[in-house]
Amino acid sequence: MIFNRASVGALCFWHDIISIMLWVLIIVIGLSIGSFVNVLIARTPSGKKISGRSKCPECGVAIRWYDLVPILSFVVLYGRCRACGRRISWRYPLVELITVAVFGVLFLMAGGAFTFQLFFLWVISAGLIALAGCDLEKFILPDSLIAGLSAFVLVFKAVTSPSELISMCVTGFLLALGFGILFLVSRGLWLGLGDVKLAFLVGLILNYPLAIVVVLGAIWSAAIVGVILVAVRRASFKSALPFGTFLAGASVVAIIFNNEIIKFSEQLFQ
């Protein structure tokens, strides 16, 4: 079949249109899930139902649907509640932007194809972002989120990679055991019980040796941030840090850069 220059140009044009539409879809999905992650951060630490209309945390007025458009509503309202005029937390647009960025990168890594593995990574990443936000904002890692994500990982892996189940569970158990010992020895001063449960989840998701590297990276990151906060007099050596935020955040980074980190970990644990 012979294609002339016009037909080749038309094919390129439609290819570009489809690519743009596809990325618009990814952005819409990412922002929508990011908005849902914000709901999880706002409600799950206090045990509230995630269903029902969103309300302003300051005045309690129900937020209209047109004020719930991710990013856009925040910009249009100049970051303030329409009803009472009080400031809206920057956490809302930041979480939405982080979620859509992570979703976009994972989509690129999947070769621009919608697969079950991509869906799995999207769900896990969104859950970890929610956990990071909960711990950062409330110093709480909700059991419902950790249990739900753990069950999701186990079911997905049982269907797709049953041979990995034992090593995943062993890694999760050993990490939780190590964190549990630290929790008991420090009587909850060094870390919380939620961190122990999150360590188990991280072991399930990342497996050995990637999970070990992530834990070490989270510990070092938390230590560096802690020292910086003390140096600028924003905290003291007795101040609590949301370690779950560092651990969940490092896990999202590891999901994205897993190949590079695995190569590093293989050299580290040789």
Taking only the tens place, the pLDDT of each residue in 183-194 is 999 888 888 899
Q: Per-residue pLDDT for 50 more than 50? A: yes
Q: Per-residue pLDDT for 111 more than 80? A: yes
Q: What is the predicted pLDDT for the residue at 198?
A: 97
Q: Per-residue pLDDT for 1 more than 50? A: no
Q: What is the predicted pLDDT for the residue at 179?
A: 95
First to last CA, the chain: 55
By mean pLDDT, which of 5-14, 22-31, 231-240 is the weakest?
5-14
Confidence category of residue 65, pLDDT binned at 50, 70, 90: confident
- Give the count of beta carbons closer than 10 Å to the beta carbon of residue 181: 11
Q: What is the predicted pLDDT for the residue at 8?
A: 57
Which tens digits make up the pLDDT trace of 153-174? 999 999 998 989 999 999 999 9
Residue bearing the bigger pLDDT, 137 or 2: 137
Q: Per-residue pLDDT for 11 more than 80? A: no
Residue bearing the bigger pLDDT, 241 or 15: 241
Confidence category of residue 217, pLDDT binned at 50, 70, 90: very high
Q: What is the predicted pLDDT for the residue at 259?
A: 80
Q: Measuring CA to CA, which residue among 23, 180, 170 is closest to residue 103? A: 23
CA angle 247, 197, 158 (to 5 degrees): 95
Residue bearing the bigger pLDDT, 199 or 267: 199
Q: Per-residue pLDDT for 37 more than 80? A: yes
Tell whether pTM > 0.85: yes
- As beta bridge partners, residue 55 has 62
Which tens digits make up the pLDDT trace of 113-152? 889 999 999 999 999 999 999 999 999 999 999 999 999 9
SS (H, E, C) the chain: CCCCHHHHHHHHHHHHHHHHHHHHHHHHHHHHHHHHHHHHHHHHHHCCCCCCCCECCCCCCECCHHHCCCCHHHHHCCCECCCCCCECCCHHHHHHHHHHHHHHHHHHHCCCCCCHHHHHHHHHHHHHHHHHHHHHHHCCCCHHHHHHHHHHHHHHHHHHCHHHHHHHHHHHHHHHHHHHHHHHHHCCCCCCHHHHHHHHHHHHHHCCCHHHHHHHHHHHHHHHHHHHHHHCCCCCCCCCCCHHHHHHHHHHHHHHCHHHHHHHHHHHCC
